Amino acid sequence: MYQKYGSYANKKEIRCVLVGDACVGKTSLIVAYTTNGFSDRYTPTAFDNFSVTVNVDEKPLRLELCDTAGRSEFDTIRPLSYADANVFLLCFSVAKPESLSAVFNRWLPELRAVSPSTPVILVGTQSDLRLNMGRVISGLPRSKGSDLVEWRTASRIASQFNADYLECSAITHHNLKEVFDLAILEGLNRKSPVINNEPKQKVNSPNKWILFQSSAEKQSEKTKSPSKKVTPPFKENSFFGLKKLVSIMKF
């Protein structure tokens, strides 16, 4: 017997907060997910709120995505965005080993000081660099394999604080939807599978749960202006909803 949605019946909104070092691609992930696009221009973030509406079992659920600044000058005010979080995406770049070191030395202690029990998902960004695809697209020099964080290393670190680990790319959209699907599952206080996303390995399950993204809108936390609807360049349920199915676990 399946307990499909846990506390979903009482939830109409999930707040997902992205944290991590500056320049690891947090904003790019949100932009790619909400608009099906990619911006190669870096714009320093203060604090921005984005929101999308997803359909979970044909029921609307608002997913609020909070983009935080990784720079040290925001250390005193950044934790204010943690209190109401239902799930954290703790991001580092697979091309920047120092950003993974900061996960334990800086970010995890900061998160746990405010929200000791909120679920955390470790996210390795810029996974396209493993195949140099992103650098070819961007016209950058090819990276050396020795410069990249090994998948097993990051996965082992995630297991030390009982977190799932996923790698994704805002450029190629590899595992992009899977990251936010898992965030929704965790935000709904459900037991979710440990996804083995090691390159060239697949996870199969006979039980599926479909998450559809239906609309997108952005709100700037700096201005506190009313939410404005954004028309994404994809048809409703055409891309994100059919790309991947997420497994349901038995209780």
Residue 103 forms part of a structural domain: yes
Domain ranges, residue 219: 8-247
Kindly report the pTM of this predicted structure: 0.70
Identify the CATH number of the domain in which residue 48 sits. 3.40.50.300
Residue 15 forms part of a structural domain: yes
pLDDT of 250 > 80? The answer is no
Residue 2 forms part of a structural domain: no
Structurally, the chain folds into a number of domains equal to 1
Residue 1 forms part of a structural domain: no
pLDDT in tens, 148-158: 999 999 999 99
Distance CA 99, CA 104 (A): 10
pLDDT in tens, 138-188: 555 555 555 899 999 999 999 999 999 999 999 999 999 999 999 999 999
147 touches 153 (CB < 8 A): no
